[in-house]
Amino acid sequence: MSKAPKRIAKNEADIDRSKYYGLADAVKLVKAKANAKFDETIEIAMNLGVDPRHADQMVRGVCALPNGSGRKVRVGVFAKGAKAEEAKKAGADVVGAEDLFEIVNKGTLDFDRCIATPDMMGLVGRLGKVLGPRGMMPNPKVGTVTMDITAAVKAAKGGAVEFRVEKSGIVQAGIGKASFTEEQIAGNIRAFVDAVNKQKPSGSKGTFLKKVSISSTMGPGFKLDIASVSAA
């Protein structure tokens, strides 16, 4: 057996897979188990009571994490003229119009988040096959199609996390780093759960928020007592 499986087995030896943990206890354990040689990402997975195959059960939105994501986000902006200059001043990493279209259309993406002004969407829409599978297509519902370029760029740089339910009814996202304090991680978890709850679709019947678990990149997962998150 290699060292990696041995380390993982040792790290998970004292974990009760059937237990639901309060938010504070879960965060403490996740940090304790994040012992890789890099700053692991703290991830959240939420099992929702929806069937996204139906349009009225789609869940999509954005959450401005109060303590940031800890991730350096490269932002690309499709804009022209004054709005292009605004994007550059706001800190966008890549700014362009037809020139940027040609670069992205060839498969080169030097950014993690894509923002566009409304007048650019006719052009950007033609990049659906490139941006769509990566979850990077600008959308007004999550604030990435907007005339307020400065606010959008700063939100993306400051820790705004987009989320979208998967076919299996699960929403996943990175909500911090293992180097964050327990309070910072817990605060981000509460904010994210609240943001997803606010996007409950009209077609969702019964229990919307079924399960929530958190883990670090290389560590075990811990199931959260949903009441401890909601109450907080």
Instruction: Identify the CATH number of the domain in which residue 213 sits.
Output: 3.30.190.20
Q: Distance between CA 103 and CA 107 in Å, rounded?
A: 7
Residue 167 and residue 223 in one domain = yes
d(CA 4, CA 10): 10
Distance CA 160, CA 162 (A): 7
Looking at 143, 158, 173, the residue that finishes a domain is 158
Written as one letter, the residue type at 92 is A
Average pLDDT, whole number, for the chain?
A: 91
User: Do 142 and 107 reside in the same domain of the chain?
Assistant: yes
**pLDDT tens digits for range 162-203:** 999 999 999 999 999 999 999 999 999 999 999 999 999 988
CATH number of domain containing 146: 3.40.50.790
Boundary-marking domain end, from 158, 182, 198 = 158
Q: Are 152 and 167 within one domain? A: no
Final residue of a structural domain among 105, 129, 158? 158
Instruction: Let me know if residue 11 belongs to a domain.
Output: no
pLDDT band at 16 (very low <50, low <70, confident <90, very high): confident
pLDDT(232) > 50: no
Q: Beginning with the edge strand found earlier in the chain, give each strand of the sheet holding 222-224 in spatial order.
A: 20-21, 222-224, 209-216, 41-48, 170-177
- What is the maximum span of the chain, computed from C-alpha positions, in angstroms? 60
In a domain, 124, yes or no: yes
- For 174, the domain range is 16-69+160-231
